[in-house]
Amino acid sequence: MFKLLLHVLLVLKLASANSISNMNGDYLLTKTPNGGPTSKFPIQYADYPGGAEYFDVYSDIINSTYAEVIWKTLDPVSLPAEIVSRFANKTIAIVGFEWDQVRTLPSGEEVSVPMSVAYNHHWSTTMLGSDSRAIKVPSSDPRVLAASKKMSHGIQVQEDGLVWITEDLNPMSKIPNHVVFGDQNGGEARKSFKGNFFKLFLMY
């Protein structure tokens, strides 16, 4: 029994001293052959120009048994109320994210769940703005077919036979109404950098 923890990093508008630390320590960056310097990417999110701040989002509890495969969309969870209020009718700039899978001990202490206990091979998270929503539809819905073409592993049919999709309520918006975080990449995921290089960020 554990939860996924998504640690979302935001850009600060004002340059200031920043004491935040990475969730999973420093990231080791390898230069791409014939590529540019890795200095374009911060090893610490606190080094992002102007600084960074973060908020945390937890999934619902995931129950599994040893060697069981879980392949489904988890039910939606709310963003922190302070974040929703602060960015109501505004655009949010996201510079990266970190993640962990955690459980709470009887003492109340939160600890990481090792990959040897619960191996997490892939996941993705969709963050919704006020002009989009998550809805369940039958697998025969044409929107499911359109969404499946963007998913390398196909659609995820729930126990009730329905499929979660994202509905965009304002498709003409110049700013995206939802954003997908993904690329959970197996056992090395905690130490894989999932951020943008300086001056580039996701806006929605």
Q: What is the pLDDT of residues 85-101, one digit of tens each?
A: 999 988 888 888 888 89
pLDDT for the residue numbered 14 = 41
Q: Which amino acid is at 25?
A: G
Q: What is the mean pLDDT of the chain?
A: 81
The amino acid that residue 14 corresponds to is L
pLDDT score at 8: 79
Dihedral sign, Cα of residue 12, residue 25, residue 112, residue 66:
positive
User: 149 or 65: which carries more pLDDT confidence?
Assistant: 65
Handedness of CA 71, 73, 78, 84 (dihedral sign): positive
What pTM does this model have? 0.81
